[in-house]
Amino acid sequence: MSISGLVVTLDRDPPLAESAIRALKRDPRITLGELAGERLPIVVETGSRVEDEEVFAALKGTPGVRFVDVAFVDFGSGEEGARDADG
Protein backbone atom coordinates (compact mmCIF):
# COMPACT_ATOMS: atom_id res chain seq x y z
CA MET A 1 0.00 0.00 0.00
CA SER A 2 1.18 3.49 -0.81
CA ILE A 3 0.18 6.59 1.16
CA SER A 4 0.95 10.00 -0.30
CA GLY A 5 0.55 13.44 1.21
CA LEU A 6 0.02 15.97 -1.58
CA VAL A 7 -0.87 19.63 -1.83
CA VAL A 8 -3.12 20.54 -4.75
CA THR A 9 -3.07 24.14 -5.95
CA LEU A 10 -6.46 24.98 -7.42
CA ASP A 11 -7.36 27.39 -10.19
CA ARG A 12 -8.07 30.99 -9.17
CA ASP A 13 -11.42 30.80 -10.98
CA PRO A 14 -13.93 29.70 -8.28
CA PRO A 15 -16.13 27.55 -10.56
CA LEU A 16 -13.08 25.65 -11.86
CA ALA A 17 -11.72 25.20 -8.34
CA GLU A 18 -15.09 23.91 -7.10
CA SER A 19 -15.29 21.52 -10.04
CA ALA A 20 -11.85 20.14 -9.15
CA ILE A 21 -12.85 19.68 -5.51
CA ARG A 22 -15.98 17.78 -6.56
CA ALA A 23 -13.87 15.52 -8.79
CA LEU A 24 -11.43 14.81 -5.95
CA LYS A 25 -14.28 13.99 -3.56
CA ARG A 26 -15.57 11.34 -5.98
CA ASP A 27 -12.32 9.32 -5.82
CA PRO A 28 -12.48 6.95 -2.82
CA ARG A 29 -8.66 6.78 -2.69
CA ILE A 30 -8.44 10.51 -1.88
CA THR A 31 -9.09 12.16 1.49
CA LEU A 32 -9.36 15.94 1.43
CA GLY A 33 -7.87 18.22 4.06
CA GLU A 34 -8.91 21.78 4.85
CA LEU A 35 -8.74 24.26 1.99
CA ALA A 36 -6.32 27.14 2.63
CA GLY A 37 -6.77 29.77 -0.06
CA GLU A 38 -6.01 28.02 -3.35
CA ARG A 39 -4.16 25.13 -1.72
CA LEU A 40 -5.83 21.87 -0.72
CA PRO A 41 -3.92 19.18 1.20
CA ILE A 42 -4.94 15.64 0.32
CA VAL A 43 -3.98 12.10 1.27
CA VAL A 44 -3.96 9.42 -1.42
CA GLU A 45 -4.05 5.72 -0.49
CA THR A 46 -3.36 3.22 -3.25
CA GLY A 47 -2.50 -0.45 -3.57
CA SER A 48 0.71 -0.05 -5.57
CA ARG A 49 3.22 2.42 -6.95
CA VAL A 50 1.69 2.01 -10.40
CA GLU A 51 -1.75 2.98 -9.11
CA ASP A 52 -0.13 5.84 -7.18
CA GLU A 53 1.40 7.18 -10.41
CA GLU A 54 -1.94 6.82 -12.20
CA VAL A 55 -3.70 8.88 -9.51
CA PHE A 56 -0.97 11.52 -9.64
CA ALA A 57 -1.31 11.80 -13.44
CA ALA A 58 -5.10 12.01 -13.14
CA LEU A 59 -4.78 14.77 -10.55
CA LYS A 60 -2.51 16.80 -12.82
CA GLY A 61 -5.02 16.38 -15.65
CA THR A 62 -8.05 17.43 -13.62
CA PRO A 63 -9.58 20.71 -14.83
CA GLY A 64 -9.20 23.27 -12.07
CA VAL A 65 -5.95 21.79 -10.74
CA ARG A 66 -2.93 24.03 -11.45
CA PHE A 67 -0.19 22.16 -9.57
CA VAL A 68 0.32 19.05 -7.46
CA ASP A 69 3.13 19.17 -4.90
CA VAL A 70 4.35 16.04 -3.12
CA ALA A 71 4.79 16.46 0.63
CA PHE A 72 5.61 12.80 1.37
CA VAL A 73 5.16 9.26 0.06
CA ASP A 74 5.25 6.04 2.08
CA PHE A 75 5.38 2.91 -0.04
CA GLY A 76 4.85 0.74 3.03
CA SER A 77 6.88 -2.10 4.38
CA GLY A 78 4.78 -4.90 2.91
CA GLU A 79 5.93 -7.35 0.27
CA GLU A 80 4.50 -5.30 -2.62
CA GLY A 81 6.14 -2.13 -1.32
CA ALA A 82 9.48 -3.93 -1.18
CA ARG A 83 9.12 -5.16 -4.78
CA ASP A 84 8.18 -1.69 -6.00
CA ALA A 85 11.18 -0.13 -4.26
CA ASP A 86 13.47 -2.52 -6.15
CA GLY A 87 12.24 -1.44 -9.50
**Structural domains of the chain, count:** 1
C-alpha distances in angstroms, 86 versus 37, 48, 75, 81?
A: 39, 13, 12, 9
Provide the CA 2 distance to its chain's centre, in angstroms. 11
> Per-residue pLDDT tens for 37-75?
999 999 999 998 889 889 999 999 999 999 999 999 888
Give residue 86's pLDDT.
41
Is 15 a residue whose pLDDT tops 50?
yes
Q: Is 15 exposed, middle or buried (0-12, 13-18, 19+ CB in 10 A)?
A: exposed
Domain CATH number, residue 40: 3.30.70.920
Average pLDDT over residues 10-29: 97
Is 83 a residue whose pLDDT tops 60?
no
Is 79 a residue whose pLDDT tops 70?
no
Is 80 a residue whose pLDDT tops 60?
no
What's the pTM?
A: 0.82
Domain with 82, as residue range(s), is 2-86
Q: Buried b vs exposed e over 48-75: b needs ≥16 C-beta within 10 Å?
A: bbeebeebbeebeebebbeebeeeeeeb
How crowded is residue 36: how many other Cβ atoms within 10 Å of its Cβ?
9
